[in-house]
Amino acid sequence: MIERVLAIETSCDDTSVAIVDRSGWVHSVVAASQDLEHELYGGIVPEIAARNHSIALIPLIEEAFKKAGMSWSDIHGIAVTNRPGLIGALIVGLVTAKSLSQAKKIPFLGVNHLEGHLLAPFLKDSQYSPPEDFGYPYVGLAISGGHTSLYQIKGLGDYKVLGATRDDAAGECFDKFAKMAGLGFPGGVRVDQLAKTGNPEAFEFPRSMIHDDTFDMSFSGLKASGQRMLEQLGPELVQEQLPDLCASFQEAIVDVLIAKLDRAAKVYRAKRVILTGGVSANSRLRARAEKWAAEKGLTLVVPPIRYCTDNAAMIGYAGVLRMAQGETSAMDLGPSPQALT
Ligand code: KG4
Ligand code: ZN
């Protein structure tokens, strides 16, 4: 029986390894960030991401074992993200998983990164466990630098895409605005910090598709509007008004996300809602979502940030559940750009 897996996540710019049980218990999760390398270029450079994964991965696997106090004899399978993501980055994780699977004579399974994000609320460790009443079905909003999508999650492997951004992801929109305002990369967290002392009504930004009757979103108009506003003001005024600019820009994103979540919860009569992905670290989004959920009588689960951003623990959990059902991948499995459909 597959009870415990080693998990590998290399789909974007974070290298992460975890050891996870079928119960969701995380024995260890370790990661190497590449933010400093990519900051020099103002965005993620796929070639650099792949190269850094290949340097960091094996030492991280050793560290994950050490932290868990375990060895290969405790591991029944290997879960690895094989879709979607940067192809070169995915290949590093995938070939490592295949090699270890052959060397250690245990099965491996390719896991969808988005499935990992959607199941992250079930993870457990000494500091976090989901609320007692948490379980299927629930509505999930996955928001990160690469994706912004709404799902109905009815069970393992039973996911319905309700809607998604038609252009930029919310995280990308945060990051581009931050970069244009001179706040570095990735800048979502800087916008969040500066916005705390700003007035969200100081500047007007568009909220595209907020009232249309789909679950789709669009952030490219907001991104362009942010750029125009920064150019019109000029560097000195931008510097002076950064808190107000950040608060107003952030509010436009949060308004759209909450409106779509509200619509999905209503239409699908949800009792439980989750936020997942790096942008769910945003303090304004969390506060607004908590207030909204309390008003509607919904259970809102936002996993701790270590399980919201890209991490191998969520991949391990999705993988161990599937492997326990008998799923494995063949040696010819390749990386793929396929999201959850
Ligand atoms: O899930 P994640 O770690 O990686 C991707 O799959 O993209 O998400 C990273 C994204 C970045 O766009 C980053 O700026 C954003 O999450 N982010 C935030 C905050 N913290 C991280 N955005 C807004 N406010 C934050 N506090
Ligand atoms: Zn992600």
Contact 307, 334 (CB under 8 A): no
- Residues tagged in the binding site annotation: 113, 117, 142-146, 175, 188, 192, 282, 310
Specify which residues 16 forms β-bridges with. Answer: 9, 31
Domain architecture of the chain: domains with CATH: 4-128+307-324 (3.30.420.40), 138-302 (3.30.420.40)
pTM confidence score: 0.94
Ligand nearest to the CA of 169: 1
Mutate to test the pocket of ligand 1, among 10, 179, 279, 315 (most ligand atoms within 8 A of CB): 279
Contact 167, 183 (CB under 8 A): no
- Lookup: tokens for 78: 């290997």
CA distance 302 to 280: 7
Q: Which of 44, 26, 54, 40 is nearest to 313 (CA)?
A: 26
pLDDT tops 90 at residue 188:
yes
Ligand nearest to the CA of 12: 1
Q: What is the pLDDT of residue 36?
A: 82
Ligand 1 atom closest to 186 (CA): 14
For residue 145, the CA-to-ligand 1 centroid distance in Å is: 6
ipTM above 0.90, yes or no: yes
Lowest mean pLDDT among 30-39, 142-151, 157-166, 282-291: 30-39
Instruction: Count CB neighbours of 122 within 10 A.
Output: 22
Q: What is the pLDDT of residue 283?
A: 96
For residue 188, the CA-to-ligand 1 centroid distance in Å is: 6
CA 198 and chain centroid, separation? 26
Q: What is the pLDDT of residue 34?
A: 80
235-294: pLDDT as tens digits: 999 999 999 999 999 999 999 999 999 999 999 999 999 999 999 999 999 999 999 999
The band of 329, judged by pLDDT with boundaries at 50, 70 and 90, is very high
For residue 105, the CA-to-ligand 1 centroid distance in Å is: 37
Average pLDDT over residues 31-35: 87
Q: Ligand 1 pocket by C-beta < 6 Å: which residues?
A: 12, 144-146, 171, 174-175, 186, 188-189, 192, 277-279, 281-282, 309-310
CA distance 189 to 106: 40
For residue 273, the CA-to-ligand 1 centroid distance in Å is: 19
Mutate to test the pocket of ligand 1, among 143, 189, 194, 254 (most ligand atoms within 8 A of CB): 189
Angle of the 242-267 helix axis to the 170-180 helix axis, nearest 10? 170
The band of 110, judged by pLDDT with boundaries at 50, 70 and 90, is very high
Q: How far is CA 136 from CA 106, 276, 300, in A?
A: 30, 16, 13
CA distance 294 to 292: 5
pLDDT tops 90 at residue 326:
yes
pLDDT tops 90 at residue 28:
yes
203-221: pLDDT as tens digits: 999 999 999 999 999 999 9
pLDDT tops 80 at residue 341:
no
pLDDT tops 90 at residue 41:
no
Which residues touch 42 (CB under 8 Å, ≥6 apart)? 179, 185
Q: Which of 36, 30, 2 is nearest to 184 (CA)?
A: 36
Q: What is the pLDDT of residue 20?
A: 98
Rg (CA), the chain: 20
Q: How far is CA 178 from CA 23, 97, 191, 207, 298, in A?
A: 39, 36, 6, 18, 33
pLDDT tops 90 at residue 24:
yes
